Amino acid sequence: MGEKWTADKILDLSGKTIIITGANSGIGYESAREFIRNGAEVIIASRDPIKADRAVLRIEEEFPGAKLKFIELNLASLESIRKFAGEFKSNYDRLDILLNNAGIMMVLYGETEDGFEYTMGTNHLGHFALTGLLMDRLSTTPGARVVSVASNAHYAGKMDFNNLLFENGHEYTPMKAYSRSKLANLLFTYEIQRRFQSRDHGVIALAAHPGIAATSLANHLFFNKISWLIQPAMKLIFQSSAMGALPSLRAAVDPEARGGMYYGPGGRGEKSGYPIVVDSNSASKDEKDALRLWERSEELTGIRYLD
């Protein structure tokens, strides 16, 4: 593990089909570029058609002949998630990698189309539903992987099953909601891996976090009114989106990766650096909480995973 892992280590991905949520910018976009560079067919799943089309054009200009498609997906809408899954499955008979990358961070209280608190609804419940609806393709694709992008913010996360979705904004703060959603991403990863293992699906689940990268998401670390002032400094202090994408890429393609592994930057405080296997806190490994979250997620989304 002493050798630096870079995108140059990605093997040929010809014949592989990959979905990336939120791939129109930031680490999702950089992941898409590297997958395309190595021959994969990539589906950009995004809620913003204009930004997604621009991302597709940029990648196609860089890699002529790229196998790249945009399918609209709004993770804050179960209807949109079902529509996306239906369109994908009508056109593709395999899914090698599902990279659950999209996320929102530090937003004011709001609700999704289905009445879920917006951050948990998008970051966790949306991906939970999407993964469940794509399980038939994942489970019939040899060596398939589900990679969920978490965050060091999970250390501050607390599960409260009596008020999981901050009902009517009760006890809501942007940081509480974001941290809880990132803890949920890890609880989900470890629980689905246990299920994969017990049922011998052949699919594996992993997680990754980017450290602190200079992406549009990082703007929310600061007040929106002054984000334009600190953006130049961010590029000097924070690592690039390309570096931030490396943990996700390694989790998605490293032949030595195993189910349940968690990748993050290897530098001080896991803020930057080349990807290594990292650890998460004890709360993320609480099997009782993981099961409660799984059951509540099935209840809320109406999506039940097939054995």
The residue-averaged pLDDT of 69-81 equals 98
DSSP state of 5: P
Which pLDDT value is given to residue 261? 98
Q: Is residue 213 part of a domain?
A: yes
In contact, 21 and 133? CB cutoff 8 Å: no
Q: Is residue 19 part of a domain?
A: yes
d(CA 307, CA 299): 17
Q: Which residues contact 252 (CB under 8 A, 6 or more apart)?
A: 18, 31, 35, 97, 99, 145, 147, 206
Of 78, 64, 69, the residue nearest 20 (C-alpha):
69
Pairing of strands 262-265, 97-100: unpaired
The residue-averaged pLDDT of 151-163 equals 97
Whether 228 has a pLDDT exceeding 60, the answer reads no
Residue 71 pairs in a beta bridge with 45
Whether 211 has a pLDDT exceeding 70, the answer reads yes
The overall average pLDDT reported for the chain is 92
Q: Coil, strand, or helix at residue 149?
A: strand
Q: Longest C-alpha distance within the chain, in Å?
A: 52
Query: Taking the alpha carbons of 4, 123, 69, 84 in that order, is the dihedral positive or negative?
Result: positive
Q: Is residue 264 part of a domain?
A: yes
d(CA 150, CA 184): 9
Half-sphere exposure of 138 (CA within 13 A, CB side): 26
Whether 148 has a pLDDT exceeding 90, the answer reads yes
Q: Is residue 306 part of a domain?
A: no
The residue-averaged pLDDT of 72-78 equals 98
Q: Which residue has the tokens 């509480």?
A: 176
Q: Which residues contact 273 (CB under 8 A, 6 or more apart)?
A: 211, 239, 243, 265, 266, 267
Whether the pTM exceeds 0.85: the reply is yes
Catalytic: 178? yes
The residue-averaged pLDDT of 44-48 equals 97
Residue 18 pairs in a beta bridge with 42, 97
Percent of the chain with pLDDT over 90: 88
Which pLDDT value is given to residue 201? 80
Which pLDDT value is given to residue 175? 96
- What is the domain extent for residue 143? 7-300
Which pLDDT value is given to residue 307? 58
Task: Name the catalytic one among 29, 178, 262, 263.
Answer: 178
DSSP state of 69: E
User: In terms of DSSP H, where are the helices of the chain?
Assistant: 26-37, 49-62, 78-91, 118-120, 127-133, 135-139, 174-199, 227-237, 241-253, 287-301
Which pLDDT value is given to residue 105? 94
Q: Coil, strand, or helix at residue 122?
A: helix
Of 219, 210, 150, the residue nearest 178 (C-alpha):
150
| Structural domains of the chain, count | 1
Which pLDDT value is given to residue 219? 42
* Residue 135 burial class via C-beta count within 10 angstroms: exposed 0-12, middle 13-18, buried 19 and up: buried
Q: Is residue 232 part of a domain?
A: yes
How would residue 213 be classed by pLDDT, with cut points 50, 70 and 90?
Answer: low
What pLDDT, in 10s, does the model give residues 15-42?
A: 999 999 999 999 999 999 999 999 999 9
Which pLDDT value is given to residue 2? 58
Which pLDDT value is given to residue 238? 74
Q: Is residue 1 part of a domain?
A: no
How would residue 188 be classed by pLDDT, with cut points 50, 70 and 90?
Answer: very high
Percent of the chain with pLDDT over 70: 91
Q: What share of the chain is helix, strand, coil (3-state, %, to 5)?
A: 50, 15, 35
Whether 220 has a pLDDT exceeding 50, the answer reads no
Instruction: Kindly report the CATH number assigned to the domain that includes residue 285.
Output: 3.40.50.720
Q: Coil, strand, or helix at residue 260?
A: coil
